[in-house]
Structure 1
């Protein structure tokens, strides 16, 4: 064996040790990737039912909002009808009632004025 052969054997041994030393981190990195894959699969399996529930909740909420929109429309129509009815009442019965009230107040005031002049004693007659 010559010196070149020995140097080749030493270099091969050093290379084998270097490969063994580098294999440990690569194996650990492979285990990390396996754990990451398992975790991502678990998250995916847990997220899918959650997304389905959220979709069902949003659909139910949209249906309820459609019902509330219908109720709000009906309330708006009822408010408009009540407003029109009160305007009609004020126009047809309000004005005559105000006139009757004013007339009755005038008559009462006139009678009250006549009574007060009868009950007062005259001043010099």
Structure 2
């Protein structure tokens, strides 16, 4: 055996030892990838029901919001109707009441003036 053959044999043994040391981390890396794949699969199995539950919750919230929108629209319509009725009663009853109050005030003023004038005439006749 020559020096070249011994050097080749040492290089082959060193490569085999290096390959042996590299196998262990590669095996661990393979196990880690298997574990990651299993975790992703389990997460997917648990995530789908959670997503379905989230979709159901969103649908229920949307339905509740539709109900709230209907209620607020009805309340708005009621408020508008009450406002219109208030305006109607104000115009229907307000003007006649003002006219009656004016007529009563005029009648009162006329009666007071007439009474005061008659009282003044009787004082002048008595002199």
TM-score per shorter chain, which class? 0.7 to 0.9
Report the counterpart of residue 51 of structure 1 in structure 2. Answer: 51
Report the counterpart of residue 65 of structure 1 in structure 2. Answer: 65
- Matches of 1:105 and 1:43, distance apart in 2: 88
Report the counterpart of residue 123 of structure 1 in structure 2. Answer: none
TM-score (norm: length of structure 1):
0.75
Query: Can you give the 5+ residue segments of structure 2 that lack an aligned partner in the other structure?
Result: 120-127
- Matches of 1:28 and 1:86, distance apart in 2: 84
In 2 relative to 1, CA 101–4 (structure 1 residues): closer, same or farther, beyond 3 Å? same
1:84 equivalent in alignment to 2:84: yes
Where do 1:1-125 residues align within 5 Å?
A: 1-104=1-104
Query: Can you give the 5+ residue segments of structure 1 that lack an aligned partner in the other structure?
Result: 119-125
- Give 1:54 shift: 0.8
Report the counterpart of residue 125 of structure 2 in structure 1. Answer: none
- Give 1:111 shift: 7.9
The secondary structure found in structure 2 opposite 1:52 is: helix
TM-score (norm: length of structure 2):
0.74
- Matches of 2:20 and 2:80, distance apart in 1: 87
- Matches of 1:20 and 1:109, distance apart in 2: 126
CA RMSD across the alignment: 2.7
* Alignment size in residue pairs: 118
In 2 relative to 1, CA 78–14 (structure 1 residues): closer, same or farther, beyond 3 Å? same
In 2 relative to 1, CA 105–45 (structure 1 residues): closer, same or farther, beyond 3 Å? farther
Between stretches 92-101 and 25-34, larger displacement belongs to 92-101
The secondary structure found in structure 2 opposite 1:71 is: helix
